[in-house]
Structure 1
Amino acid sequence: MCRGLAWLLVLLLPACVDPYSPEILAAKRSYLVVDGFINSQGVTTIKLSRTFAITSLPKVPNETRATVYIEDTAGARFPLAEGATGTYTSAYLMLTTGRTYRLRIATAAGVLYASDFVPVKITPPLDAVDWRAEPTGLGIYVSAHDDTKATQYYRWEYEETWEIIPPFSPSIEFVNNAIRPIRVLYPAQCWGNERAAAIQLAKTTALSKDIVSDLLLRRLARTSDRLYRRYSVLVQQHALTKEEYAYWELLRKNTESLGTLFDPQPSQLTGNVHCLSNDAELAFGFVGAHSLAQKRIFIERGQLPFDWPFVSGYEACVPPDTAKGNYIPLLRTGFVVPVSEVRDGITVASLDCVDCRRRGSANRPAFW
């Protein structure tokens, strides 16, 4: 009897799950998205963009030529200037902790927006950013505390940088339908860079002390090509208000915890940014005000266990192919490039196997 009931439930479950299609995805209107926070002890960077239907545009449309500034309840204003398209930055600021601040935005179309006034929080320093070689891979952990118990709500971001070493350094090139000694060398080294999209949060409200200890921030597989030679991670810590934490927690649930019957259902997410010109106009984002704490660590390949495999990401490129006879039509395609001369022909490889700029930047980071 129980087994039959179980099979009946299995058959009925698909009919109980309705696809979630938020109206905002199908809407023809475009709404303002505000990404960033007011840095109370440094440079504030705010990115403005627009929502769009996921099937209509190849990239996020930026909001350009807007007038953006920070203001406090005493009437002081601090302007932000547009640099990169849709990105607005302030001068280095030292804001007063006893005041509340908000962001004001006037779009090029004359539509006015503002975030709610929020208090300034001071982010405590990171106690440690540690790493451990574990059976499942490399774990990166963060620890922090606040003796005053004024933080309690934490958020972390991290940015990774790693060395990329291509397997080939071509000695010849194909120019004007002929092979000649190479004149402009390909970079021998590049640097990959990625800012994590994951939302990392923690709160200590249920603890007797405001301490976060050994929170797992990132795990890399033993076979990650980011660990091939040298790897670095920059960890940034934010102190949030209770309201800002609730916003990020809801955003995390909406973006990371969906997919099964038992996951939380998606919720409408807006934030604390409002349109002053039209109450019915939506805006998305939460603008808090706090200082920023950060710490960078480096991990060398020689520090890792000797039995971890060396994975460069170029394994499929080695060895190079050999082209003989009339290989000119092959080189004209541009999909492969000559590497070296051999008897009766040349060795060739795809451009991705030769030019590391296709995987990163040849510009050495200032901190490297």
Structure 2
Amino acid sequence: MHKIYLILVLVILGGCIEPVDVPIEKQERLLMVDGLITDEPGPYIVKLNKSFYYGEYFGDAHPDVKNAIVTIFDDQGTIEVLSETFPGKYETNKNGIRGRIGGSYQLKIRLKNGQEYISEPEVLKPVPAIDKLYTTFAQEHSLNEQNETIITDVVRVLVDAKDPANEKNYYRWSSEGTYQVFTQPEDYMEKVRDVLVPRPKSCCPDCWLTDKNNLINVNDDRQFNGKTLVGQPILQVPATPRFFDIKYRVEVAQYSLSETAFNFWETIKLQSKGTGSVQDPAPANAVSNIKNISNGAEKVIGYFGASAVARKALFITKQDIPIQIPKFIYPDDCRTMPLSTTERPAFWQ
């Protein structure tokens, strides 16, 4: 602050200060890895990229990670070289290597510049079944920019699961929501010379949309070892006509984690929750289990994991919500909604 005051004084007294260009050292681009093998049928996907400099467009895969040789192998000698299906995206064969409970798995990467990377062995641990998947209704209170209280109706999705006794267990959850909408393409209006004119469309009123919950959700059993984990929050869905005009299906996946994988995801979770206050956790690097074979000091971002998976699905209807859900109004072809499809999912009831 003293330096800032001094600069202000110099500006006022001297009239102007000649600008000085301060060189900012660019950091090295780091390899980014995201991969997982499970006990479910493949294909399994490994994504590679390089970190970007501040201010750069973060989009397409960096040239360094294209045309790499990516291999998954286990402790029994099974080896599979993945195919690059998209720049930086590598997949196993559908009927190729498959994770098994108790198996140990590693990832090996050889970039086209000759640099090689390998992950530490990950043991695929079992995961208990999801005993119960259920919902509760809640009203959340928040303040808007005018410091007014805003009440939001939400449907919370929760999980119960029985934790095995006398051992450390670590968990991660993900979820995917699918819902049907019924729109009104016959009511479509188009603006012509600043005037809305009816332009009815003949298709399509029925669509299905899918939302993936990308929040990091992990837990360990220190508080419930050998007991039932009750009420683990999975996600919450706004109780609005868009989601519940017809019905909403949520599928939850419960994963087993190694201790190192849990520590990695827990660090990412804590850092992503930072609000910029003095009470935020101190910055820390999430420790990857991947290293450069010839240069162990090189930092790598990401993790290659091995997990068992337990799944459970639940349909939620407007009758399950203790408030009135109005009709969903969308006067257009439902296919104009992002990530929509007119193809009815096989699991839809």
TM-score using structure 1 length: 0.71
> Quick check: 1:129 aligned with 2:109?
no
Cα distance change on mapping 1:309 and 1:27 into 2, 3 Å: farther
- Among 323, 326, 329, the alignment partner of 1:310 is 326
Q: Which residue of 2 aligns with 1:258?
A: 275
- Which SS does the other structure have where 1:161 is aligned? strand
Give, in whole Å, the separation in 2 of the partners of 1:29 and 1:224: 48
Deviation at 1:313, TM superposition (A): 6.5
Alpha-carbon RMSD: 3.2
* 1:68 and 1:79 in contact (8 A); partners too: yes
Q: Which residue of 1 aligns with 2:88?
A: 86
Deviations 1:47-84 (A, max 9, x none): 22222135211525364322222123454313322334
- Which SS does the other structure have where 1:187 is aligned? coil
Deviation at 1:29, TM superposition (A): 3.5
- Which SS does the other structure have where 1:155 is aligned? strand
> Quick check: 1:284 aligned with 2:301?
yes
Cα distance change on mapping 1:98 and 1:216 into 2, 3 Å: closer
Deviations 1:164-205 (A, max 9, x none): 33333269999xxxx9998x8432122222211211111112
Q: Which residue of 1 aligns with 2:239?
A: 222
Q: Which residue of 2 aligns with 1:42?
A: 41
Deviation at 1:209, TM superposition (A): 1.5
* 2:241 and 2:325 in contact (8 A); partners too: no
Give, in whole Å, the separation in 2 of the partners of 1:202 and 1:65: 37
Give, in whole Å, the separation in 1 of the partners of 2:167 and 2:227: 8
Give, in whole Å, the separation in 1 of the partners of 2:132 and 2:76: 38
Give aligned pairs, total: 302
* 2:48 and 2:88 in contact (8 A); partners too: yes
User: Which structure 2 segments of 5+ residues have no match?
Assistant: 2-23, 140-152, 192-196
> Quick check: 1:30 aligned with 2:26?
no
Give, in whole Å, the separation in 2 of the partners of 1:212 and 1:242: 18
Q: How does 1:1-368 map to 2 (within 5 A)?
A: 27=26, 29-43=28-42, 44-59=44-59, 61=61, 63-90=65-92, 91-92=94-95, 93-135=97-139, 136-150=153-167, 152-169=169-186, 185-223=202-240, 225-305=242-322, 307-310=323-326, 312=328, 314=330, 353-354=332-333, 356-364=335-343, 365-368=345-348
Give, in whole Å, the separation in 1 of the partners of 2:129 and 2:168: 11
- Matched-pair identity in %: 24
Give, in whole Å, the separation in 2 of the partners of 1:223 and 1:237: 27
* 1:258 and 1:265 in contact (8 A); partners too: no
Give, in whole Å, the separation in 2 of the partners of 1:69 and 1:313: 49
User: Which structure 1 segments of 5+ residues have no match?
Assistant: 1-10, 12-24, 318-352
Give, in whole Å, the separation in 2 of the partners of 1:230 and 1:31: 44
Give, in whole Å, the separation in 2 of the partners of 1:74 and 1:217: 36
Deviation at 1:288, TM superposition (A): 2.1
Q: Which moved more, 1:189-198 or 1:277-286?
A: 277-286
Deviations 1:93-125 (A, max 9, x none): 444544422111122333211111122211222
Q: Which moved more, 1:221-230 or 1:240-249?
A: 221-230
